[in-house]
Amino acid sequence: MRGKRAAVALSGGVDSVVLLHLLKDQGVKAIHVHHGLSPNADAWAQFCRELCKQWKVPLTVRRVRVAKAGEGPEAAARAARYSAFKRIKEDQIFVAHHLDDQAETVLMNLLRGAGVAGARGMQPLSRLGGKKLVRPLLDVAREEILAYAKKHRLGWIEDESNAQDKFTRNFVRRQLGPLIASRFPAWKASVARAARHFSKQEIGADRLLRAYLREKGLKAPSEAKLVEMLKQLTSRGARTLVEHEGMRLRVYRGRLAVEPAAPEAPFAPLRWQGERQLAIPALGGELRFRRSRGKGIDAKHKPLLVRLRAGGERLQPDPRRPRRTLKNLFQEAGVPPWQRERLPLLFSGETLVWAPGLGVDAAYQARAKAPGVLPEWRESR
């Protein structure tokens, strides 16, 4: 971890508590994701706060909204959790997946009909956007982790949902696993070992898509779903949308984009009256305004209204060129269609003054040496 900023994903369960105990003296921070799915979620967050205070480990608690639609609550919660991980400053995120998790993951993948990519399971080191996802306990059995926790008299919380067999992983862990163990006692270690072999054998024309999904922290789809995903994503439709693991995959001009499948928050127009910053949580970011001279929006033009695109808007960023439709300008700038509808626009009355990435309308631009403001849209996710 030398030279790297690292965080431990701390749920409060025994696995993550043991991992943090092992790393707490190495300058790590901790992150706890508050899903809000359990009536005990607040108590879990408080447990993590008290534990980190005791161990003198800086803690970040992130509340997330888990999408209702998609492939089920487990996948939606994982997508929300990984989305939270991407927003922290640390370069490396240590997670407490262990050998039993690996064996269960591989078994579930195979039962869903996944191919070689599913059989390879989780990797000790993978990518999550621009961050590294590290699993140092992947070869350690759950019983060893419990023994360590008891030896060091560690406390932890129990998630009541772990006793509910309606969740696939719990069914595998509580029902299917013990049945297999009655005939093959070492099945977990054997499956984990097989996963390591498979990780060296992945081949095929779908490798790029599989690798891309792994980099984004998403599990391997079944062979049938992968074929369908490839078919849709290569259809060249500008509004093609594929949902997987609580995320949305889209293609625009040959580039693949991934974003959470969370429902869009309602947005009401806002008034800007000269503030330096204007937070817009519904759109996932904030508008920043920097003072300037001879650039940006002429300072006399305020207040302005922040609205979304309604259709038919026109803008003239370059006074030497004619006024053009916002649609054409966005197309020219390479802004994907699905992003255009959720970008904040500045209006004076019914006239469009500024659009992110396009600039200020010529009629509202600050003249030479005149005071002006330069708007900037910054996404927080």
Buried b (16+ CB within 10 A) or exposed e, 96-129: bbbbbbbbbbbbbbbebebbbbbbbbbbeebebe
- Residues of the chain with pLDDT below 70 are 1-4, 68-72, 200-204, 206, 235-239, 381
Which of helix, strand or coil describes residue 34?
A: strand
Query: Helices 14-23 and 41-55 meet at what angle, rounded to 10?
Result: 20
The predicted pLDDT at position 160 comes to 79
Say what the alpha-carbon torsion angle 307, 309, 311, 314 is, to the nearest 10 degrees: 80
Phi (first) and psi of residue 302, to 5 degrees: -155, 150
Cα–Cα distance for residue pair 184/188, rounded to 1 Å:
9
The predicted pLDDT at position 291 comes to 92
DSSP notation for 75-135: HHHHHHHHHHHHTSS-SEEE----HHHHHHHHHHHHHTT--HHHHT---SEEEETTEEEE-
Cα–Cα distance for residue pair 125/129, rounded to 1 Å:
13
Cα–Cα distance for residue pair 192/121, rounded to 1 Å:
8
The predicted pLDDT at position 265 comes to 83
Nearest to 169, CA basis, from 43, 48, 78: 78
> Which pair of tokens denotes residue 147?
């023994």
The predicted pLDDT at position 155 comes to 95
Paired residues of 279 in beta bridges: 286
The predicted pLDDT at position 115 comes to 72
Rounded to a whole number of angstroms, the CA Rg of the chain reads 25
Which of helix, strand or coil describes residue 348?
A: strand
The predicted pLDDT at position 135 comes to 94
The predicted pLDDT at position 201 comes to 62
Cα–Cα distance for residue pair 91/3, rounded to 1 Å:
10
- Per-residue pLDDT tens over the stretch 42-56: 999 999 999 999 999
The predicted pLDDT at position 21 comes to 97
> Which pair of tokens denotes residue 99?
């050998």
Whose tokens are 């779903």? That residue is 225
Strands 6-9 and 29-34: parallel
The predicted pLDDT at position 3 comes to 47
The predicted pLDDT at position 166 comes to 73
Domains and CATH numbers, the chain: 6-204 (3.40.50.620), 270-379 (no CATH)
> Which pair of tokens denotes residue 81?
């959790």
Residue 6 class from Cβ within 10 Å (0-12 exposed, 13-18 middle, 19+ buried)?
middle
**Cα angle 88, 92, 96; round to 5:** 100
